[in-house]
Amino acid sequence: MYLDKQIESYIYNTGHIIGKGSFGCVYRGIDQNNQKEVAIKVVKKAKLQGESYSLKALINEMTILKKLRSKNIVRLLDICESQSNYYLIQELCRQGDLKRILKQKQLEEQEAIRILHDILSGYQILLKNEIVHRDIKPANILNCNGIYKLGDFGLATQLQKQMMLNSRVGTPLYMSPQVQQNSNYSNKCDIWSIGILFYECLYGATPWFHEKSQKILKNIYEQPLSFPSTPFVSDISKSFIKKCLEINEEDRIDWIDIYNHNLFRQIPFKIQGCNPQLIVTKIRNIIKTRQLNINQLIQNSTQQKKLKISDLELFLQSIDQQFTSEDAEQVFDKLNHKNEDSIPFECLLLWFSQNDIISPQAQDNGSLLLTQNDQSIVNNLLNSLSIQIRLNSISIIEILKDLNVHDDEEITLSKFEQILFKIDTQLSRADIITFFRKINEENLKSIKKEEILKIFYEESELDDADHDDFSISPVHIPIQGPGQKLLSFKNLERLS
């Protein structure tokens, strides 16, 4: 007999099961506060008794999901607790998981590439936080109205720089050889899993299969990777899979090469998870290059005592239209020490002051070196070039390398033209000269490689030492009684 149940404002029917796991079920439910459908993962405490690793995995999943924000990662909305269960309230992905979809139909190659693109878009946030998923497989990829999302972070962990992992966790069909052998491995273990998953999306089966995991490993070493003759799959997709499925980690494709792979030339990646320190650097460069009066922008905005994420996004876009909602979220999270829905404007000003964006003398130091019309030309040109760089995944570092621009070399107008034409061949020479003159005036008649990189804020050249450390540590979860909020949930984000 099916029963209606309620935990706090969430109700669900025990007959509406949308998934099952080792420690409980996932139900379709409703948040009575807004009448929106949710997924309610019910984890039975009895199943966790004596399973310290499982409890740690649950805490791990809650902590990581609350930390990560991306449209391609399943969102954790709330956590509740009763005498018998823990409840993870998540966004509902109505179309189910990729495993179910692959059982129902054969995917076209372009659809498989789009799914892969969604998965990798979500994975960018994991890379930023140095998190390894360790269980990427079709059952953990959820479809929410055509958007595919990474889910189930119970086996995820943080990978500090220069650190290797050696725990044998995951699903054998999708485990890299290093994980299966308990050898040292890095976040490239997820690249292997992505290669297996993409192969399965294209061909409906994994490249190596056996019911016993040790036999799968034997097959990997003894049976070379092969591709069926049908369905037809392009050479570029096959090449991507081969690079992901190199047995030795050092031979396997790197993450940076994945995001720059020609497989995604029609749908380049939008950079997500931008480090707040990078945003600071961008703002400083914009102020310098465009003679932006940041104090005036601040004065125009100070009537707002509190800033929500949407307010912060508007303020950042008043500095430069290229700033995104993801950028605003990163800054907001950095400054939101009290975990509220808004931050005092003074917090933003203090952060600007600490990072040398504003100072008491800032208003007195800005002597315009170009006419207002020239300055407008420079601003428009910078916006146009920034868009071209984003849309076409252009690397300024690679352009300078191709043109043999050395660190101490003084860049001439001719060389400057070559650099800009590599970004956009339709530029006007008059605009280029105005731009060149602007930079010359800023740098006392001398332009060098470092200045070019600063202008276009080449991310790979910027210092990311200010990244947030993120680590998982055990947390005691006290029993609060039926329908009580999990008190330790408020402290999850302070684990970092």
* CATH number where 362 lies: 1.10.238
Task: Tally the residues of the chain.
Answer: 496
Distance CA 374, CA 394 (A): 26
Residue 438 maps to a domain: yes
* 312 and 175 part of one domain: no
Label residue 225 by pLDDT band (50, 70, 90). Answer: very high
Q: From the candidates 78, 135, 152, 320, which is the catalytic residue?
A: 135
Q: For residue 462, is pLDDT > 50?
A: no
| Cβ-based neighbour number of residue 471 at 10 Å | 11
147 contacts 72 by C-beta, under 8 angstroms: yes
* 252 and 112 part of one domain: yes
**Domain boundary pick from 264, 295, 320:** 264
Residue 33 maps to a domain: yes
* 22 and 49 part of one domain: yes
Distance CA 123, CA 131 (A): 9
Residue 487 maps to a domain: no
Distance CA 1, CA 15 (A): 8
* 112 and 26 part of one domain: no
Residue 476 maps to a domain: no
311 is catalytic: no
- Runs of H (alpha helix) within 22-92: 45-48, 52-67
Q: For residue 299, is pLDDT > 80?
A: no
Higher-confidence residue: 11 or 465? 11
* 237 and 340 part of one domain: no
Label residue 184 by pLDDT band (50, 70, 90). Answer: confident
127 contacts 254 by C-beta, under 8 angstroms: no
Look at residue 11 and give its three-state secondary structure.
Answer: strand
448 is in an annotated binding site: no
- Exposure string of 161-195, with b = 16+ CB inside 10 Å and e = fewer, is eeeebeebbbbbbbbbbbbbeeeebbbbbbbbbbb
Burial of 55 (0-12, 13-18, 19+ CB in 10 A): buried
**Domain boundary pick from 367, 382, 413:** 367
Beta-strand ranges (E) seen in 261-346 are: 306-307, 343-344
Residue 477 maps to a domain: no
* 212 and 337 part of one domain: no
The domain total for the chain is 4
Higher-confidence residue: 1 or 264? 264
| Spatial CA neighbour of 436 closest among 412, 454, 418 | 412
Label residue 219 by pLDDT band (50, 70, 90). Answer: very high
Look at residue 29 and give its three-state secondary structure.
Answer: strand
* 140 and 200 part of one domain: yes
Element (DSSP H or E) covering residue 27: strand 24-31
Residue 486 maps to a domain: no
In single-letter form, the type of residue at position 196 comes to I
* 255 and 214 part of one domain: yes
How far from 126 is each of 132, 133, 151, 279, 337, CA to CA, in Å?
A: 7, 8, 12, 19, 22
Distance CA 131, CA 321 (A): 30
**Domain boundary pick from 75, 92, 109:** 92
pTM of the predicted structure, to 2 decimals: 0.56
| Spatial CA neighbour of 290 closest among 163, 455, 415 | 455
The rounded mean pLDDT for the chain is: 78
Q: Which domain holds residue 328?
A: 274-367
Label residue 416 by pLDDT band (50, 70, 90). Answer: confident
Task: State the DSSP code for 142.
Answer: E
Q: What pLDDT is attached to residue 163? A: 53
Write out pLDDT tens, residues 64-114: 777 777 889 998 888 898 988 889 999 999 898 999 999 999 899 999 999
Biggest alpha carbon distance in the chain?
82
Q: What pLDDT is attached to residue 338? A: 61
* Domain harbouring 25, CATH code: 3.30.200.20
Write out pLDDT tens, residues 39-76: 999 988 887 776 666 777 777 778 777 777 788 999 88
* 336 and 408 part of one domain: no
Q: For residue 476, is pLDDT > 60?
A: no
